[in-house]
Chains A and B, each alone.
Chain A
Amino acid sequence: MPVFNQSRKNVVRLILVGMFLIIVVRLFTLQVVTSKYKILAEDQGIFRKVIYPDRGIVFDRNQKPILQNTTIYDLMVVPGKIKGSDTALLCKILNIDSAEFHKRIITAIIKNRSYRPSVFEALLSEEKMAMINENMYRFAPGYYLQERPIRDYPYDAGGNILGYLSEVDSNFLKQHEGEGYLIGDYAGKTGIERTYERVLMGQRGIEYWKRDNKNRLTARLEGGIYDTAAIAGQNMFTSLDIDLQALGEKLMQNKLGSIVAVDPRTGGILCMVSSPTYKPSFLTGSDRKRHISQLLLDPSLPLLNRSVSATYSPGSTFKTLQALIGLHEGVITTETRFSCGGAFYGCGKPMRCLDIGTFDLRHAITVSDNTYFANVMQRVINNPIYPNVDSSLRVWDKYMYAFGLGHRLGVDVPSEKKGNIPTPATYDKVFGKGHWNFCSFRSVSIGQGEVDVTPIQVANEMAYIANKGWYHIPHIVDSIEGGDKFHLLDKFKERINTIDIPDSIFEAVHDGMQGVVDRGTGMGAKVPGIAICGKTGTVENYYRGVKQPNHAFFCGFAPRENPKIAIMCVVENSGRFGGTYAAPIVGFMLEKYLKDSITDKKRLERLEYYSNLNLMPPRILAMMKTQDSLMHRRDTAYLLAKGYIKILRDSIGIENEDPTEIIDNLKEEKKPVKPVPPEPAKDSATSQQQAILPESRKRVAIHDSIPRN
């Protein structure tokens, strides 16, 4: 038979070859054509471990580090290995009971399974860390300490400027897609940590690790040849004077308000005090969460950076600008005189003035005469060369924008408010088109009413006056080590000079301002041996329609020739006059900066006196009291805080800011006739300028103001 079936060997061969071909073709599609399995394999077999570089260090103008890095420890646990550890001792050290211990272990197992490490207690305090480290042999190998770099503040000052880091949220991740942020990463939330996040964060490194079927990292992939090294963040040099900052914070303790000082020659911010403030170290380390909710709950809003985010009516400090406009428009000369007979009668209902007499411009600034500047503005608005009040107010607005008011300056501290300069559109809305004239807003002439400014704008306007017609955008960061790769500092190099006003006009205003300190309302700011130009302001304000104690303002620059510092100070609801509290504070600041230290014993005593002065408005104190009892009643304070956070976000300024928007604004404002963006009338019609929650702002009628100074 075998011969008969001989040919069948070929059928068998055919079957073999056929099967071979089927397998090879399938292998070809699987291994060569499809890429899906390679991706799947990488997903499960390879772990990209992100290596976080050190964040950049921030120095002050004297090369002192004011923001640097230090290391803190997390206690890690591998639940599968804790048998034999001294649990009782651990609980004692960490001050937890066994129920809490079990809860944490179970959470760890749920989160990361029992053979992978989880955080048992994050950010150990120093003494706990020391105790655990001492007894480590009792806990190993189930527990170990893991380093974690955190921010460190050698001077523990300037919390509002430096800002803090916090875990990124989903919103942040959406906006910064493709920049390598992952859930659980930390990023600058406020302050320059936020503005310069890209510079400070550095470049992350990536290590490729092999991973096994239980998600454990086993070894470096190929010995690490694909890894990229982390590049540390760039260091930054700021214009801050940290000692001046610390002094400012000391002077402002137990007061609400702000001090901003700018170097007029560069626009560099020398100090930016917002009070109340917080110790920046408060928001790092083990109790961070508790501290944040505590700060968020505080009715005095310590997290709010008042220097850029609070708006106030400028009060009499505004008069210097009115003088500049009046002189440059030619409606007055330095010799023009107006007399105050007890009130300004230009608009029927009298507006009171307290310095009875007849004044020229210099003298009017020195004594802060209301009638004088009401007349000046009346002349500007009713200037016959302009066809109507509408166009003349536009001209006035143009000046104000050139002085840096009514728009965001573009400061490198986040959450800057733009303040408000009333425009024709504002009054069209309030009174109807054609139904208003100078008398409708006469209190604007003395810096009340619809004018809103931020402290940084006032400081900048002083720099403008000191420089006689130009300014740099105020900024914290002067230079970045290794170069400004993202061109964040370019705009600060530009000298902004929109309107050419002759020096002689500035000289006249300087004369008046020097008079304020030498013999006028701001004598409290006097520093022996230094020619200081200044201006006081006493600002009326209302909270929910109820008149509150006045805000004290003082702004100025020094020395008069070659000014080195332009400064402003506001003390909220201090009562009395601008000269009473704000002027002496500025005096100490000027002395400290210009003379490097305050040596005179008497002066030091005065300094201590002002530092210890408690000027907290009774309204805030009352709120604090309710808050405290609230906290006592509920131990779920944290939940409470969560509810608060939403409301507070707006006021504390956790908002978006697009720097290009600010630059665009500036460009627009340089056009001669500028269509002023209409301001919501509701806001501009308020005259209370306190840092309170937006929804509590109520429209308050325009008042005839009687502040002197």
Chain B
Amino acid sequence: MNQPVNTTIAKGKDWILIWLYVILVVFGLICIFSVEFKTDDDVLKSLFEFKKNYSKQLIFFGLSIVLAIFILLMDSKFFTATPNLLYIFGVILMLATFAIGKNVNGSHSWIPLGFMNLQPVELCKIFTALALAKYLSRSETDFSKPKSQLIAAGICFLPAVFSILQNETGLALVYFSFLIPMYREGLPPGYLIAGASLGVLLVVTLLFPASSLIIAMSILAGLIIYFSRRKIKRDKGWLMLIVGLWLLAVSFVGFVVPFMFRHVFQKYQADRIFSLVGRDNPFVSDSTANLNPATDPSKKSKKLENYNVKQSKIAIGSGGVLGKGFLKGTQTQGDFVPEQHTDFIFTSVGENFGFAGSVFLMLLYFGMMLRMVTIAERQRSTFSRVYAYSVVGIIFFHVAINICMTIGLAPVIGITLPLMSYGGSSLLTFTILIFILIKLDSDRQMVLR
């Protein structure tokens, strides 16, 4: 807004966000280059032959800039007018994937476009964000009503369901990020708390055998009942609450989790999740197995660390404080980390630039997100604000899960690092997401519906 740039297109744009965007993409390009570069490569030649990933990513970057300028030149009313259409288009695209889709790495979620493969579920994030914003900004929507909450959830999770059906569980998880704008718009915190406790319970279930957990929870419930017996005398509802929660938790540990691991997750996914917590998968997908999956306590839990995660941790961990220097990472140069240019791009940052570089990158990402929160809060229209929070949520989920996956805090699910990972789909999606936000922000004085 107060930038010295005086062209019309530059007027009122949030340059901090734009610069953060550019820095991150360029950083990503550098990292992709360091992954692919070999000492005897002719850089200039391969740059213009567009055979290497970094040169291809450069094209995608150029494409992104064109797209960004195009978005900035559009009328922002377009975005408030078309979300429903776009959303329907997105859903159709996802359905079409079932018919004309292409298998890539076991997931049936790609549509070949000739020059690149398009992943509709990526694109759908934009449409869903716009649709959610549109729905919540309608004057007739009262988000405190459960019916509205349900409809909003439906909008968000429909693409996720399709995505799971296409065997792309990782990207489906991203749709949980819409909980953040919904929370901001008045979703009762109980949902978040319940979700978080379920998450904790899930992790605990993975870490300990179910039988001992059930015993522990029973003892805990008994203790609470014992110490609050006076309150129970006054209020029978309290007792009901405790017993109800206990029943829920026990059934979750005893039935829901085993059921999910047997019938919902693919075996490799279940294995990955268990490898993360360092246990063998106790839920061998054998439908005739005993329903109560008490693991054999005598069996020492074996450390089955996923190869990818191990190599990723080695690469990052060997970086030290200041890193080995650009193009000097032995692990990066030796191609030890699989998928290093896409999902594991952060490992090259960790190895080449060390702790300092990694923290710097994190500061860029989280600075960007915090900047977006600030932008969101200065919007006058609900539409823009919901949309901004959606973008924050999406980027947050991507960054948090991707980084945690490389440093061994989350299971390996194929989620890209926004703006840095190699891949046109991902880069273009995030460019569109961010630049729609910038466009909406520059028009924040207009009344948008």
Contact = CB atoms under 8 A, between A and B. Distances in A.
A578 B405 CA distance: 88
A337 B224 CA distance: 119
A28 interface: yes
Contacts, number: 131
Interface string A28-48: 101110101110111011100
A12 B313 contact: no
Given A27-B355, A219-B39, A9 B376 contact: yes
Nearest to A38: B318
Interface residues of A, number: 42
Contacts of A5: 184-186
Interface in A1-58: 1-2, 4-6, 8-9, 11-13, 15-17, 19-20, 22-24, 26-28, 30-32, 34, 36-38, 40-42, 44-46
Nearest to A44: B336
A16 B362 contact: no
Interface stretch (B95-103, B206-214, B326-334, B424-432): B326-334
B185 A1 contact: yes
B217 interface: no
A8 B186 CA distance: 9
A213 interface: yes
A41 B331 contact: yes
> Max chain A CB contacts within 10 Å: which of B315, B330, B354, B407?
B330
B187 to A, nearest CB: 9
Contact of B335 (A15, A36, A46, A213): A213
Contacts of B333: 45, 210, 212, 218-219
B320 A20 contact: no
Contacts of A218: 38-39, 333-334
A16 B314 contact: no
B183 interface: yes
B382 interface: yes
A211 B38 CA distance: 12
A45 B358 CA distance: 21
A600 interface: no
B314 A40 contact: yes
B125 interface: no
Interface in B386-445: 389, 392, 396, 400, 403-404, 407, 409
A146 B183 CA distance: 70
Contacts of A20: 362, 366
Contacts of A24: 359, 362
Nearest to B374: A9
A41 B312 CA distance: 10
Interface string A500-521: 0000000000000000000000
A38 to B, nearest CB: 5
B369 A38 contact: no
Given A44-B334, A212-B333, A213-B335, A8 B184 contact: yes
A213 B315 CA distance: 12
A31 B313 contact: no
B313 A26 contact: no
A247 B409 CA distance: 79
A221 interface: yes
A31 B335 contact: no
A4 B143 CA distance: 12
A222 interface: yes
Given A1-B185, A213-B334, A16 B369 contact: yes
Interface string A407-419: 0000000000000
Contact of B409 (A6, A13, A26, A46): A26
Given A1-B143, A12-B184, A31 B358 contact: yes
A22 B410 CA distance: 12
Nearest to B144: A1
A34 B351 CA distance: 14
B373 interface: yes
A14 to B, nearest CB: 11
A296 B244 CA distance: 86
Interface centre among A17, A36, A44 (most CB of B within 10 A): A44
Given A23-B403, A45-B331, A31 B319 contact: yes
Specify which of A11, A22, A40, A41 lies most central, judged by the most chain B CB atoms within 10 Å of its CB. A41
B354 A41 contact: no
Interface in A563-579: none
B382 A2 contact: yes
A212 B314 contact: no
Interface string B362-385: 100010011001001100001001
Given A30-B407, A44-B334, A37 B317 contact: yes
B380 to A, nearest CB: 9
B180 interface: yes
Contacts of A219: 39, 333
Contact of A30 (B38, B317, B334): B317
A232 B38 CA distance: 34
B186 A32 contact: no
Interface residues of B, number: 48
B314 A9 contact: no
Given A2-B382, A213-B335, A218-B38, A27 B316 contact: yes
A19 B358 contact: no
B204 to A, nearest CB: 18
B373 A37 contact: no
A213 B336 contact: yes
A12 B317 contact: no
Contacts of A44: 314, 331, 334, 336
A31 B185 contact: no
B400 A19 contact: yes
A23 B184 CA distance: 24
B330 to A, nearest CB: 3
Contact of A23 (B318, B362, B370): B362
B370 A16 contact: yes
B313 A30 contact: yes
Q: Quick one: which of A6, A45, A218 has the most chain B CB within 10 A? A: A45
B396 A19 contact: yes
B369 A41 contact: no
B254 interface: no
B321 interface: yes
Contact of B359 (A15, A27, A211): A27
Contacts of A4: 186
Interface string B172-200: 00000000100111100000000000000
B90 interface: no
Contacts of A19: 366, 396, 400
Nearest to A46: B330
B28 interface: no
B392 A12 contact: yes
A20 B358 CA distance: 11
B357 to A, nearest CB: 10
A36 B336 contact: no
Contact of A31 (B316, B373, B376, B396): B316
Contacts of A41: 314-315, 317-318, 330-331, 351
B256 to A, nearest CB: 26
A128 to B, nearest CB: 34
A1 B315 CA distance: 48
B350 interface: yes
B334 A36 contact: no
Nearest to B393: A12
A212 B334 CA distance: 3
Given A12-B392, A13-B370, A23-B407, A45 B39 contact: no
28 contacts: A1-B144, A2-B382, A6-B377, A8-B184, A12-B183, A12-B184, A12-B373, A15-B396, A16-B369, A20-B366, A27-B316, A27-B355, A27-B358, A28-B355, A30-B350, A31-B350, A31-B355, A38-B320, A41-B317, A41-B330, A41-B351, A44-B334, A45-B331, A45-B333, A46-B330, A210-B330, A218-B39, A219-B333
The 4 closest A-B pairs by CB, nearest first: A37-B317, A45-B330, A41-B318, A212-B334
Given A9-B376, A26-B407, A40-B318, 7 more contacts: A1-B186, A2-B385, A12-B392, A19-B396, A27-B350, A31-B316, A44-B314
